Amino acid sequence: MSSTLLLPGDDTPQTDPDEILGRLSGEVDIVIDGGNCGIVPTTVVDLTEASPSVIRHGKGAWDDVNSSTK
């Protein structure tokens, strides 16, 4: 698992989990620290409903995540 963050006005995505948490402090409930990753966009999963759903497909196999949540 990896994390990237590209906010409006940013030229490149943030890939360091500590930097991401600092940028989003108070705006998100959780940042999963998967370590630094490349600049390939990650898969974004919405966990606000009873069943997880993919908001954006990217790096990371959704099938692996989806099967572990059942």
Count structural domains, the chain.
1
Within a domain: 2 = no
Whether 7 is in a domain gets the answer no
Does residue 60 lie in a domain region?
A: yes
Q: Tell me which residue of 64, 53, 18 sits closest to 5, measured CA to CA.
A: 18
11 occurs within a structural domain: no
Does residue 3 lie within any of the structural domains?
no
pLDDT tens, 16-56? 888 888 888 888 887 777 666 676 777 778 888 998 888 88
Whether 33 and 17 have beta carbons less than 8 Å apart is answered as: yes
Quote the domain boundaries for residue 39.
Answer: 17-68
Q: Is residue 62 part of a domain?
A: yes
Q: Is residue 48 part of a domain?
A: yes
The secondary structure of the chain as a DSSP string is ----B--TT-SS-B--HHHHHHHHTTT-S---------SSPBPEEE-SSSS-EEEE--BS-HHHHHHHT-
**Single pTM value for the model:** 0.50
